[in-house]
Structure 1
């Protein structure tokens, strides 16, 4: 991957990551339009870099909320902050299960398949359309809703299904206040992003180590 290609993909990732338009879907479209093909190691390295960039920007934007959560956890008591973190952990279960078990197969299935990606983008658009017309009650996320929102995040492993779009839309359709839905959506992804970056970095290191061993034979 050339520096220009890396810049182009990074620009697309940066512009679409926090919009409900599916960054993964748009990356696949750009790759197809420009005939970009990444090797396994290049793809993993790119994923690690953009995931870390996403995590860093999320931490910067929500630094006040994260600080309040940390302060609440350090009180070592059951309060709003510990409850919020427990709901985030609940929401991670579906995404972690599907991501660890099926991510590679799904990525292979959708790679370069613009019709499938277009269909997924249409689903994202429909979710946003429904959420825009939904009435909210101003309530917060509860345990059952955290699991449902986690399922929406898990489905967003499909390129073209926006993670933020699906989770925020699902939250709003459940009657959760839009501002609280957005906050929960962006904070719930932090552990997933950081975990994914660590696993990808581990694969890169393992691959390089294996390559070094093979080269010495």
Structure 2
């Protein structure tokens, strides 16, 4: 991997990680369209450490409060009813599905799941699901001619069942094209949570999974065409860009819908399928990273 490739891929990772459009799909597609080798699952996972560092800094007050309350609740039972203490447990519970499924389907994630036809299909399908969930949320918030608006749930109402469902939704992002934030936010909207609550929990829930995945994949960096220098450079760049994206996205969702992302996903997915079936794009383009 050249330094120019790492610059472009780090930029793409930072721009797309927290938007509901799938960073892993965009890394795969960027390489395919540019005629580069697929950067691979290991490169994707390690550069996500950079984007997750942006989450740790942006939500540092929330995270410090949650860790402190959770730690104290381990030795003081009177603190176990505290919302922040419960949130610590709910993040742990919600991380179980992706941990189990990630290990179970590791070979598929690094191989067949990176097929461009599958990526295109998941871009379209999750885009439609996100659109439906967003419309339901908007209908509840705005009400209608024959019914009053209904308040959406906040994170204070999160429970173990919902935490596990959020976690199952996050696990769907093991398939490139699904999008971690897109899947978890969609799940949250269907469960009645507000856009901001679903996005905030999505970002917090991703921390253990992304850091564990990135650290686990470190051993594979340096093998094949992906070397340490460009990977570190891409990771740092992804961190800087991702921090700016998080700040923008959290402001965006308080007043705007997800429909621009829905349209983008569907259009991109259709374009990829057309190019593949027209013979312009090989669905296995650059697939070998060995």
Q: Distance in 1 between matches of 2:14 and 2:105?
A: 25
Q: Which among 124, 129, 132 is matched to residue 131 of structure 2?
A: 129
Q: Does the aligned pair in 2 maintain the 1:103–1:157 contact within 8 Å?
A: no
The answer as to 2:137 corresponding to 1:120 is no
Residues 120 and 39 of structure 1, relative CA distance in 2, 3 Å threshold: closer
Compute the RMSD of aligned alpha carbons. Answer: 2.1
Q: Which among 81, 86, 90 is matched to residue 87 of structure 1?
A: 90
Unaligned 5+ runs, structure 1: 209-217
The answer as to 2:125 corresponding to 1:110 is no
Deviations 1:116-167 (A, max 9, x none): 1111001121122012112363243211111111111111111100110110
Point out which structure has higher relative CO (alpha carbons under 8 A, 6+ apart): 2
- Aligned pair count reads 203
Deviation at 1:74?
Answer: 4.1
Q: Give the 4+ runs in structure 1 shifted more than 6 A.
A: none
The answer as to 2:100 corresponding to 1:97 is yes
Residues 189 and 138 of structure 1, relative CA distance in 2, 3 Å threshold: same
Tell me what 1:211 maps to.
none
Q: Does the aligned pair in 2 maintain the 1:59–1:66 contact within 8 Å?
A: yes
The answer as to 2:25 corresponding to 1:10 is no
Q: Distance in 1 between matches of 2:218 and 2:35?
A: 26
Tell me what 2:189 maps to.
172
Range with greater deviation from structure 2 (75-84 or 7-16): 75-84
Q: Does the aligned pair in 1 maintain the 2:70–2:84 contact within 8 Å?
A: yes
Q: Distance in 2 between matches of 1:75 and 1:39?
A: 42
Q: Distance in 1 between matches of 2:68 and 2:100?
A: 30
Q: TM-score if structure 2 supplies the norm length?
A: 0.65
Q: Does the aligned pair in 1 maintain the 2:21–2:182 contact within 8 Å?
A: yes
Tell me what 1:32 maps to.
32
Deviation at 1:38?
Answer: 4.8
Tell me what 2:179 maps to.
162
Tell me what 1:67 maps to.
64
